[in-house]
């Protein structure tokens, strides 16, 4: 299956990728927003389109709610710019209904997008300098952290600080932390805080995805991965399993 045209925010259709459809359906029909901040883990193998889902969610919150602040974050700014922010940009650049300069303005150097009609903003934070408290001044309804497992136990302070800044806008009842990541070891703090906690916490939600779940991915890419990684690496990178390597 190939996409007939470039993906944009308003033409985004999650139905061909089952886990994406389930995630977005749950946002509207299942998630107990009345319980306060919700925690999501999108745990996916390489090429499973989890970053695209995160980018869509950022724009969706920014266009759905007035005066919403949405955070996109990663440990290092260059990596954030090349991944999650790039997907936000791509979804907007290809959109025929949202016009840059009229409906929104992008500030690429700081990975920031201002939406003119709603007054909402997508903004960014990073913590490679270990200044974990930089988010303390924010009032957020949504925070998305890209590649969560690149953060060690010390970096967890950034996650916890951001989590405390959610649910700070009284007019917005949807509040969420979304972690996008490739799987890692079960000893990683994200495994305990999300995957284990989901079993007992109705406010924690985990979605798993495989490389092969994405019907748009180049089959040559999948073949390349299969031929150039070890069997142990394939467990997490292609099969999406949380295992020790």
- The reported pLDDT for the residue numbered 4 is 46
> Which residues lie below 8 Å from residue 36, measured CB to CB, with a gap of 6+?
167, 175, 203
Q: Locate tokens 């979304």: which residue? A: 178
Average pLDDT, the chain: 93
- The reported pLDDT for the residue numbered 5 is 57
- The reported pLDDT for the residue numbered 171 is 97
Q: Is the dihedral of CA 194, 195, 196, 202 positive or negative?
A: positive
Percent of the chain with pLDDT over 90: 80
**pTM of this structure:** 0.94
- The reported pLDDT for the residue numbered 2 is 44
Q: With 80 as the cut, is the pLDDT of residue 180 above it?
A: yes
Please write the tens of the pLDDT for every residue from 85-131.
Answer: 999 999 999 999 999 999 999 999 999 999 999 999 999 999 999 99
- The reported pLDDT for the residue numbered 224 is 81
Please write the tens of the pLDDT for every residue from 147-163.
Answer: 999 999 999 999 999 99
Q: Which of these ranges, 1-15, 35-49, 179-193, has the smallest mean pLDDT?
A: 1-15
Strands across the sheet containing 121-125 = 104-107, 112-115, 121-125, 69-73, 142-146, 176-181, 38-44, 204-209
When pLDDT is averaged across residues 45-51 and rounded to a whole number, the result is: 89
Length of the chain, in residues: 245
């Amino acid at each position: 299956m190939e996409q007939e045209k470039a993906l944009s925010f308003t033409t985004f259709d999650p139905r061909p990728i089952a886990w994406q459809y389930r995630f977005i359906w749950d946002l509207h029909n299942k998630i107990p927003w009345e319980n306060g901040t919700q925690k999501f883990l999108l745990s996916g193998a390489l090429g499973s389109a989890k970053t695209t889902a995160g980018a869509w969610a950022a724009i969706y919150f920014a266009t759905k709610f007035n005066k919403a602040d949405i955070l996109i974050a990663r440990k290092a700014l260059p990596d954030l710019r090349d991944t999650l922010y790039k997907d936000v940009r791509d979804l907007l650049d290809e959109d025929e209904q949202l016009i840059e300069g009229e409906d929104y303005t992008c500030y690429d150097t700081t990975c920031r997008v201002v939406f003119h009609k709603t007054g909402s903003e997508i903004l960014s934070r990073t913590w490679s300098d270990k200044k974990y408290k930089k988010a303390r001044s924010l009032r957020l309804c949504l925070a998305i952290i890209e590649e969560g497992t690149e953060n060690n136990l010390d970096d967890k302070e950034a996650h916890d600080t951001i989590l405390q800044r959610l649910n700070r806008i009284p007019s917005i009842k949807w509040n969420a932390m979304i972690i996008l990541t490739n799987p890692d070891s079960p000893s990683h703090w994200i495994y305990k805080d999300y995957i284990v906690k989901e079993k007992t916490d109705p406010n924690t939600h985990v979605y798993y995805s495989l490389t092969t779940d994405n019907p748009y991915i180049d089959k040559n890419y999948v073949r390349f991965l299969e031929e150039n990684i070890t069997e142990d690496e394939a467990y997490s990178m292609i099969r999406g399993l949380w295992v020790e390597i």
